[in-house]
Chains A and B, each alone.
Chain A
Amino acid sequence: MAGMPATDDAYYRTAALVIEFRNVGKIYKSLLGNSVKAVEEFSLTVIDGEILGIAGPNGAGKTTLIAMMLGYLRPTAGTVEINGLPARQYVERNGIGYLSELIAINPKWHAETALVRFATLAGISRSEIRQRVGYVIDLLGLDEHRNKKVKALSKGNLQRLGLAQALLRDERILVLDEPTHGLDPVWTQRFRDVVEELRRPDRTILIASHNLDELQRLADRVAIIDRGRLQRVVSTGYENTAPAAGTRYRVTLASGHDLVRAVFPQAEDAGRGEYDVTVRSIEDLNAALADLIGRGALVASVVPERSVLEQQFREAVGESQ
């Protein structure tokens, strides 16, 4: 997000507050007395205009957190508030654009009818319903499927229908749980464009995903959770993050292959004009690249072996285990 210091704690304390998790815990208890801690002492503030990613391995507690944020589950400890209201109360008053991980829509309904129903529940006026439904159908390429029954839709089309119902209203908060699950590469890319279009200073978007690359591209910050605990909050920008010593990059050259060893003596040839190089700092990397280019090589791309997020995720989840 332009102008927003993603790692400045003071900024998050003073900005217009939207969603606040305070020492939230959730324990599931069975009738036999067994209990499972799904979330423990989770505290996080999410502000206006932010896209927050939630990453974690399977069973980390991502979906439980979202269910508490929508008021579907009551925390066994702590509170979840949205704009100062208990979460459920906020949702009942204002609504939230929500795409769940499992798209549960009555299979007998037709795609367009389902959207009209959700629009009616969402409080969209009779005169606007056709327009809004038409808009989301166009936006998500569902035109040819509008008269199909939900049970006849493919996984990808069902996912798009789920996203369409989340976008029916101009919501201030969007919560997307595994939004690209089942989408083909074209629609995965289109989804990213849609999210970028949805970014607004007065809108907060939460995206829970296993796909770290997706979160790296879309989110401003990513909360990494594991075993129900917040492990760390990571800024996805490179500007505030010095790469760890010994970071590996893949350098692709269009020409000047014979010059690589002169600049990166330890470079490993990965084939097809690609070389894996290890540097001590980002300054060293830039100096070496400048040298390489100065000698006449044409650099096509430089990609870190692991993104900032991947690096942090490995550390956070690895540490907790």
Chain B
Amino acid sequence: MAEYAIELRNVSKHFGPVVAVDHVTLSIRDGEFFSLLGPSGCGKTTTLRLIAGFELPTGGEIYIGGQLQGETPPYRRPVNTVFQNYALFPHMTVYENVAFGLEMRRVPKDEIQRRVREALEMVRLPGMENRRPNQLSGGQQQRVALARALVNRPKVLLLDEPLGALDLKLRKAMQLELKALQERVGITFVYVTHDQEEALTMSDRIAVMNEGRVLQVGTPEEIYERPTCRFVADFIGETNFLSGRVKERRPKEVVVLVDGSVEVLVAADREVGVGDEVTIAIRPERISLHAKPPDPRALPGRVEERIYVGTDIRYLVRLTEQTVLSVRQQNPGTDAMIRFSPGDTVYLHWRLPSARLLTE
């Protein structure tokens, strides 16, 4: 029956007049690494707290392992949480922290000992049992928090921006480690983050949230390659937006008149009618620049600025009066690469599927 580890059905949470979570429906599969991604205040942390039981939903239903949760208090839910600030008990040693959950569940003493040791080994912190949290580095505290949750072998592990307080390098290392750990223990992870790169790196599936709503659920590739709305396209990575009106529908393509002057061809992967207002999204790295038109579809533009950013060269190219596109050319580091200068006329070109038609 429990095909899904967690199911939210139409869940809402109001704080007074503020709607933090707005009719969210989600199904998280068993053993999945699932991320809730969105800007701060989008409702992702509240969603997590609703699953953990720290907050009760104003409306809707939450199922964990097929069981309706209702008003079940946090201590009777088969989930454990890794908190953003770790929430390690400052008056207990590392051992006492990790053993706390087992002790509360009256696990026999010798089993507690064994499992705590195993958990600390798993997060690569053996020999730290008698330290206090304030004697540990941020990364070590993070591992203790992880061990403290995992030692209970929960059905689902909830993680609330657990890497947020770490510096960039450590964070990158921990991302890979967490992902490997999740694959090893096979526990469902629900991971809250505002860092799109983190979500793309680690997740099996991602739910992008904004203003309390889930906008799109999909694999990292789906989310990046086929965003369904402007917010998702904009929030994940860098995107150029061209707005225009549908001029003509062909069997496989749509012709859009951008800013009333430039015709752009897009794959027809959704239903639009002639005259509809639409937006075209195109990633900067999918556009190539040419001195001469490589294809009749290529669009002419004028280079406004060239910015050197190390791995790439970034150009700002004016397409129309209203629209400037950002274009990234990889920097291969040889003189072979053609460089354009401000004022040059260039031709912009991309493969047809790279441009996405958005209706909103």
Q: Do they bind each other?
A: no
* Chain B residues with a Cβ under 8 A of chain A: none
